[in-house]
A and B are shown apart, each in its own frame.
With several copies, the nearest count.
Chain A
Amino acid sequence: MARILPLADAVAELIHDGDQVACEGFTHLIPFAAGHEIIRQQKKKLTLVRMTPDLIYDQMIGMGVADKLVFSWGGNPGVGSLHRLRDAIERQWPSSLMVEELSHAGIVQGYTAGAAGLPFGILRGFTGTDLPKVNARIKSITCPFTGESLAAIPAIRPDVAVVHAQKADRVGNVLVWGIIGVQKEAVLASKRAIVTVEEIVDRLDPPPNACVLPSWVVSAVCLAPGGAYPSYAQGYYDRDNRFYQLWDQISRSREEFLRWMKLNVLAESGRLNFMEKFSNIGRMA
Chain B
Amino acid sequence: MTMDYSADEIMTVSAARMLRNRTVCFVGIGLPSKAANLARLTHAPELVLIYESGPIGAKPFILPLSIGDGELCTTADTTVSTAEIFTFWLQGGKIDVGFLGAAQIDRFANINTTVIGDYDRPVVRLPGAGGAPEIAGSAGEVFIVLRQTLKTFVERLDFVTSVGHGEGGGYRRRNGLTGGGPAAVITDLGILRPDPSSKELTLTSIHPGVTIHEIRAVTGWLLRVSSNLEITPTPTSEELSVLRDLEQRTAAAHGVTSV
Q: Do chains A and B touch in the complex (CB under 8 A)?
A: yes
Would B138 and A128 count as touching, CB distance under 8 A?
no
| Interface assignment of B127: CB less than 8 Å from any CB of chain A | yes
Contacts of A71 in B (CB 8 A): 128
Contacts of A123 in B (CB 8 A): 86-87, 91, 134
Contacts of A52 in B (CB 8 A): 67, 130
Would A209 and B82 count as touching, CB distance under 8 A?
no
Chief secondary structure at chain A's binding surface: loop
Q: A28 to B79: give the CA distance in the assembly, Å.
A: 12
Contacts of B77 in A (CB 8 A): 173, 204, 206, 212, 214
Would B134 and A179 count as touching, CB distance under 8 A?
no
Asked, given contacts A72-B130, A104-B130, whether A124 binds B91 with beta carbons under 8 Å apart, the answer is yes
Asked, given contacts A77-B65, A123-B91, A216-B24, whether A129 binds B48 with beta carbons under 8 Å apart, the answer is no
Would A241 and B254 count as touching, CB distance under 8 A?
yes
Would A128 and B160 count as touching, CB distance under 8 A?
yes
Would A28 and B70 count as touching, CB distance under 8 A?
yes
Q: A129 to B90: give the CA distance in the assembly, Å.
A: 18
Asked, given contacts A129-B161, A214-B56, whether A116 binds B134 with beta carbons under 8 Å apart, the answer is no
| Interface assignment of B78: CB less than 8 Å from any CB of chain A | yes
Segment of A33-41, A83-91, A219-227, A260-268 in the binding face: A83-91
Q: Mark B33-71, 1 if CB is under 8 A from A, else 0.
A: 000000000000010100011111100000011111110
Number of A-B contacts (CB under 8 A): 228
Tally A residues with Cβ within 8 Å of B.
Answer: 71
Would B87 and A89 count as touching, CB distance under 8 A?
no
Q: A93 to B102: give the CA distance in the assembly, Å.
A: 27
Contacts of A253 in B (CB 8 A): none
Would B92 and A27 count as touching, CB distance under 8 A?
no
A154: min CB distance to chain B, Å: 16
| Interface assignment of A57: CB less than 8 Å from any CB of chain B | no
Tally B residues with Cβ within 8 Å of A.
Answer: 72
B162: min CB distance to chain A, Å: 6
Would B129 and A128 count as touching, CB distance under 8 A?
no
Asked, given contacts A51-B82, A214-B56, whether A27 binds B93 with beta carbons under 8 Å apart, the answer is no
Q: Mark A144-186, 1 if CB is under 8 A from B, else 0.
A: 0000110000000000000000000000010000111110110
Which listed residue, A105, A185, A238, touches B91 by the CB 8 Å rule? A105
Within 8 A of A (CB), among B97-131: 110, 114, 119, 121-131
Asked, given contacts A71-B128, A89-B125, A124-B138, whether A182 binds B82 with beta carbons under 8 Å apart, the answer is yes
Which listed residue, A73, A116, A173, touches B87 by the CB 8 Å rule? A116
Would B78 and A212 count as touching, CB distance under 8 A?
yes
Contacts of B69 in A (CB 8 A): 27, 239, 241
| Interface assignment of A74: CB less than 8 Å from any CB of chain B | yes
| Interface assignment of B133: CB less than 8 Å from any CB of chain A | yes
Would A127 and B163 count as touching, CB distance under 8 A?
yes
Would B22 and A180 count as touching, CB distance under 8 A?
no
A64: min CB distance to chain B, Å: 18
Would B129 and A131 count as touching, CB distance under 8 A?
yes
Can you list the 5 inter-chain pairs with the closest CB atoms, starting with the nearest? A27-B68, A75-B127, A77-B66, A73-B130, A212-B78
CB pairs A–B below 8 angstroms (7 shown): A26-B54, A28-B73, A90-B123, A105-B91, A116-B92, A241-B256, A244-B65
- Besides the known contacts A72-B130, A74-B127, A86-B124, 6 further A-B residue pairs in the complex with CB atoms under 8 A apart: A90-B121, A104-B130, A117-B178, A131-B161, A216-B22, A216-B94
Interface set of A (CB-CB < 8 Å, partner B): 1, 26-28, 51-52, 71-75, 77-79, 81-82, 85-86, 89-90, 101-105, 108, 111-112, 115-118, 123-131, 134, 148-149, 173, 178-182, 184-185, 188, 204, 206, 208-212, 214, 216-217, 232, 234, 238-239, 241-242, 244-245
Interface set of B (CB-CB < 8 Å, partner A): 22, 24, 29-30, 46, 48, 52-57, 64-70, 72-74, 77-83, 86-88, 90-94, 110, 114, 119, 121-134, 137-138, 159-163, 166, 171, 175-178, 253-256, 259
